[in-house]
Structure 1
Amino acid sequence: MKLSHFNFKLPEELLADRPSDIRDEARLMVLNRKEQTIEHKLFKDVIDYFDEGDVMILNNTKVFPARLYGNKEKTGARIEVFLLRELNEEQRLWDVLVDPARKIRIGNKLYFGDDDTLVAEVIDNTTSRGRTLRFLYDGSYKEFRNKLTELGETPLPKYIKREVEPEDEERYQTIFAKNEGAVAAPTAGLHFSKHLLKRLEIKGVELPEITLHVGLGTFNPVEVEDLSKHKMDSEEIFIGPDAVETINKGISNKKRVCAVGTTSMRAIESSVSSSGTLNEFSGWTNKFIFPPYDFSIANCMITNFHTPKSTLLMMVSAFAGHDFMKKAYEEAVKEKYRFYTYGDAMLIL
């Protein structure tokens, strides 16, 4: 399929810049692939579609406050620094994006915080906006990371034009977030409340956790019409033995196995055995899923509503069927569902 197959008109007012008032009361569109039906529910109704022994795979990555603002030495120019990934703990080297990039060259120093106790030196150019920074801080590694957290800001996506608000620190994080390392939230998981998770647990639904640290590459635009030529950025995955055992048991018992989010789906599809079961995994994936694609692990998926031409839309189209997904998105626009990070959800059965 071509890039142009995934274009559609999305009214700007449907881009959600705030979360729903209550996590599990976002809207939920339910797609039944076999019956080709569409239902309109609330997210908390998701429990009605799962029974004892069914499996929901959760991504427990935790977003860290990746957006910092520093001042360039001498000029004092304000520079945004977006932390992408740590390269070397001992040397405190990080891959970052800087904005405005034209002002930042190798050898420049940036000063952070009112007291300038945290300093970074630019030691390499990686892309037009990418830089490698060496952070200079007079303290232990733990104290350094605490300083980054103190100075950092919740990394809301750029499409959200408003200032970061206090509630974003909690709402741009799933309630099961544990393993820090993501620079963007696994958004389908944002709809789960403690109450809903407890109800699922009581009903006997299995809730194994895996980790995929979401990077900004997930949101990079596709710039080639031929999708086979698009290269995804790599993201780090951890799939442990307990999750593998629970998920494979669900597969062998022919239960509903549901990937919560494109991140969970990408993780499990990156570690499939020759017999179509899940393997343990610790490493990186640059897997790009687009139609046509045969899924091996999950037979069900929860996801948000995605933007035109995005790799996320391509994945869910591969899962639901391109024509059915096109029809569902037309319905979503007509019914004014909310799109993107803080938007509404879809359950694909």
Structure 2
Amino acid sequence: MKVSGFDYNLPQERIAVYPPEERGSTRLEVLDRSSGEIGHARYTDIGRFLGAGDLLVLNNSRVVQARMHGSKTSGGKVELVLLEKHREEQERVMYRGRLKAGDVIVAHGQELIVRFVEGEGVAVLEAVSGEALSAVFARYGQTPIPPYLQRNAEEVDRERYQTVFAEIPGSVAAPTASLNMTPRMLEELRLKGVGIAYVTLHVGLGTFMPIRVDDLSEHVMHREFYSIPERTVAAIRSARERKGRVVALGTTVTRALEHAAESLLDGDGHEVLEGEADIFIYPGYRFRVIDSLLTNFHAPRSTVLMLTAAFAGKELLRKAYGEALERNYRFLSYGDSMLIL
């Protein structure tokens, strides 16, 4: 299967560059896989499509202030985005600019030294002071909004590029399908008898990295740490026993649940399930855990678009995207949403 099969024309004016004025005020395209019908609603209408016994699973990972700009003491500007711990006080970062081992970067008065460059725009850095580099980023970093927004982070992003239930720090990109969810909506779902459960999957920048091969079978997916708490494991097993639907709020939840499918479905103990999700889901994949998916409108040729196509069906998704473009839906992280039943 070729990457080119997931290309489409996304006009720049269809990209939501800023969040809506009010959280939850966005539109919702609804796909029924069994009938092939496409409907249109509001994000706040989600409760119309879920019922008692269904289970909505959300990602409670919190976005960290992961982007910083600095200058090399030898000259030249560098942009840094925190990725993950390497060891001790060292961190793996993605960078823009030119770096080599031994370079010293000054950012907000802090000196950072490049220990080595891994390639693909990734290097390992540490603070000269000996302070944990993650603490330096926490103090001086900016919100790491997606590069396709083509602007610098602003104060509005600190609040709105974060879900209302974000709890556990670790993501360098938001689980964006949840950005429009509100406490009121969650309470209304609970009152209706819909279960609410959480997983933690720390989103990495790999979600924005382009696929560099033509054949999807050759693509190596990035890894992302996830944890599924005991109560969520129990809730998923209970929902399936009652014939309720497991509704994934976003592709990050989907990746965590499907990566842990064997333990979720075949286990019977009370345990926390943890791992590193490196699962690459594209058409032909057989979903084992999730029954419905609430997600964004994704960028062309992206792995999250391929996951969505695997769940919805490639042709139905193509039709739905075409209709969304005709109806002036807003695309990508701050945009409108799609519910696939």
Same fold (TM over 0.5): yes
Query: Which position in structure 1 is the counterpart of 2:89?
Result: 92
1:9 correspondence with 2:9 = yes
Q: CA deviation at 1:275?
A: 8.3
**Superposed, which structure 2 residues align to 1:106-121 within 5 Å?**
106-113=101-108, 116=109, 118-121=110-113
1:300 correspondence with 2:292 = yes
- Is the contact between residue 89 and residue 130 of structure 2 (CA under 8 Å) also seen in structure 1? no
Query: Using the alignment, how far apart are the partners of 1:56 and 1:313 within structure 2?
Result: 21
Q: CA deviation at 1:98?
A: 1.8
Structure 2 residue identity aligned to 1:194: P
Structure 1 residue identity aligned to 2:148: Y
1:255 correspondence with 2:247 = no
Q: CA deviation at 1:219?
A: 1.9
Query: Using the alignment, how far apart are the partners of 2:215 and 2:18 within structure 1?
Result: 34
Query: Which position in structure 2 is the counterpart of 1:234?
Result: 223
Query: Using the alignment, how far apart are the partners of 2:311 and 2:173 within structure 1?
Result: 23
Q: CA deviation at 1:120?
A: 1.1
User: Which whole-Å deviations, capped at 9, do the CAs of 1:282-334 have from their partners, x for residues lacking one?
Assistant: 12121100011110111100000001111111101110111111110110111
**Superposed, which structure 2 residues align to 1:133-152 within 5 Å?**
133-137=125-129, 145-152=134-141
Quick check: 306-315 or 3-12, which moved more?
A: 3-12
Structure 1 residue identity aligned to 2:40: H
Q: Which structure 2 residue ranges, 5 or more long, are not aligned? A: none
Query: Using the alignment, how far apart are the partners of 1:138 and 1:319 within structure 2?
Result: 47
TM-score (norm 1): 0.93
Q: CA deviation at 1:16?
A: 1.1
Query: Using the alignment, how far apart are the partners of 2:120 and 2:102 within structure 1?
Result: 16
1:206 to 183, 195, 208: 195
Percent identical residues: 38
- Is the contact between residue 71 and residue 77 of structure 2 (CA under 8 Å) also seen in structure 1? yes
Q: CA RMSD in A?
A: 1.6
Over 3 Å counting, the alpha-carbon distance change for 1:174 and 1:166 in structure 2 is same
- Is the contact between residue 248 and residue 277 of structure 1 (CA under 8 Å) also seen in structure 2? no
Query: Which position in structure 2 is the counterpart of 1:81?
Result: 80
Query: Using the alignment, how far apart are the partners of 1:309 and 1:194 within structure 2?
Result: 33
Query: Using the alignment, how far apart are the partners of 2:262 and 2:122 within structure 1?
Result: 36
Query: Which position in structure 2 is the counterpart of 1:61?
Result: 61
Count how many residue pairs are aligned between Structure 1 and Structure 2: 338
Structure 1 residue identity aligned to 2:310: A
Quick check: 44-53 or 55-64, which moved more?
A: 44-53
TM-score (norm 2): 0.95
Over 3 Å counting, the alpha-carbon distance change for 1:92 and 1:107 in structure 2 is same
Query: Using the alignment, how far apart are the partners of 1:312 and 1:261 within structure 2?
Result: 9
Q: CA deviation at 1:68?
A: 0.7
Q: CA deviation at 1:73?
A: 1.5
